[in-house]
């Protein structure tokens, strides 16, 4: 493994452990997510600052706020990376309020608010939130059964670009049509098409590279996930690097992570591990391209929210079944 990549891997594990030790009751899916937020910035997590930001979040939001849900720790990590956490949180709450005027409130909308606060100036918030809804509507018109709240954060990312709305709609659909035959989940393919539409070049070339990377990793024993992980694959496919070089770095990182506690069979799972390997690898190839880093993390956050929501639903269903059985037997 290249020395710079190895340093980034060590920082990632260090950050994961710092956060895990400071916030011991969170889901194990949360720790690598938050660690990646710090590692992409190239900084070590500060547990004390994170705890202060957690308290700030509690002070500024109600107990039922979407900022206090599954994505809470991602928000805490984001705030702790800011030189002025309170100002940053006020920005996010302001943007979230504007987004709620045109969307139903959701945890995905908190991700959209974070994306906009990172990449836009306050004077642009109104325009960006309106454009986010316009792009979301175009998604919904094309794929009414696939488009849902999780797509709002991708719509925000696209709204922040300089691309024309009509071009975005057409490019997303071109990429979706080309890629759908290869994957079962239309929802995941739609997320991938969102990301690829941000990149330059013909849709055919971008999709071919995404599939070439997917197949190369698979043929070498590193099968990439086909759910929300595909969004990060899209970012990797847009890098100006040949597939074999990129894949080798990803596989080196994946092998290293596999040797670390929490990333094996009883950890987050092979497919998520490979996704994080992709996130760590991309940092070396695009140190200045914040929109692409944000796009990758957008997919990761959406994946974690979806997983946690599924776990909560499963626990609720199990509890309801147990209660029903207890009631019947009494």
DSSP tag of 171: H
Question: Helix (H, G, I), strand (E, B), or coil: what is residue 132?
Answer: helix
Low-confidence ranges of the chain (pLDDT < 70): 287-330
Given this model, what pLDDT does residue 161 score? 87
229 contacts 274 by C-beta, under 8 angstroms: yes
As a whole number of angstroms, the distance between CA 192 and CA 210 comes to: 9
110 contacts 92 by C-beta, under 8 angstroms: yes
With the CA atoms of 167, 173, 176 and 177 taken in that order, what torsion angle do they form, in degrees rounded to the nearest 10? -130
Given this model, what pLDDT does residue 269 score? 85
13 contacts 260 by C-beta, under 8 angstroms: yes
- Tokens encoding 101: 């005027």
> Taking Cα atoms as reference points, which of 190, 128, 125 lies closest to residue 159?
128
The predicted model scores a pTM of: 0.87
Question: Helix (H, G, I), strand (E, B), or coil: what is residue 30?
Answer: helix
Q: Measured between alpha carbons, how far apart are the two ends of the chain, in Å?
A: 62
Given this model, what pLDDT does residue 326 score? 46
As a whole number of angstroms, the distance between CA 14 and CA 183 comes to: 35
Residues 6+ apart with CB under 8 A from 30: 19, 23, 73, 74, 304
Given this model, what pLDDT does residue 216 score? 97
220-270 pLDDT, tens digit per residue, is: 999 998 887 888 898 899 888 999 999 999 999 999 999 999 887 777 889
- Whole-angstrom CA distances from 180 to 91, 120, 139, 164 are 37, 33, 16, 24
Given this model, what pLDDT does residue 301 score? 64
Given this model, what pLDDT does residue 44 score? 97
């Amino acid at each position: 493994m290249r020395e710079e990549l190895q340093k980034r891997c060590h920082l990632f594990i260090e950050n994961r452990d710092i956060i895990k030790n400071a916030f011991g009751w969170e889901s194990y899916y949360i720790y690598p997510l938050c660690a990646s937020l710090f590692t992409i910035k190239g900084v070590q997590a500060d547990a004390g600052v994170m705890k202060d930001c957690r308290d700030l979040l509690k002070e500024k939001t109600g107990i039922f706020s979407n900022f206090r849900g599954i994505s809470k720790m991602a928000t805490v990590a984001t705030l702790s990376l800011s030189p002025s956490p309170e100002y940053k949180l006020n920005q996010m709450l302001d943007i979230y309020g504007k987004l709620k005027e045109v969307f139903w409130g959701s945890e995905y909308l908190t991700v959209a608010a974070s994306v906009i606060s990172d990449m836009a100036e306050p004077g642009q918030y109104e325009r960006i939130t309106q454009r986010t809804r316009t792009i979301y509507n175009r998604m919904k018109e094309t794929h009414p059964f696939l488009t849902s709240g999780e797509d709002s954060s991708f719509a925000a990312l696209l709204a922040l670009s300089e691309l024309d709305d009509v071009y975005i709609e057409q490019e997303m659909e071109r990429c979706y049509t080309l890629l759908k035959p290869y994957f079962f989940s239309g929802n995941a393919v739609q997320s991938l098409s969102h990301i690829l539409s941000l990149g330059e070049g013909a849709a055919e070339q971008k999709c071919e590279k995404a599939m070439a990377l997917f197949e190369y990793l698979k043929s070498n024993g590193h099968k990439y996930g086909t759910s929300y992980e595909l969004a990060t694959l899209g970012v990797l496919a847009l890098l100006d690097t040949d597939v074999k070089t990129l894949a080798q770095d990803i596989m080196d990182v994946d092998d290293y992570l596999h040797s670390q506690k929490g990333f094996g069979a009883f950890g987050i799972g092979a497919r998520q591990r490979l996704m994080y390997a992709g996130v760590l690898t991309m940092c070396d190839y695009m140190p200045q391209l914040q929109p692409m880093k944000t796009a990758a993390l957008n997919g990761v956050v959406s994946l974690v929210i979806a997983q946690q929501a599924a776990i909560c639903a499963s626990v609720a269903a199990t509890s309801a079944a147990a209660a029903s059985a207890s009631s019947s037997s009494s």
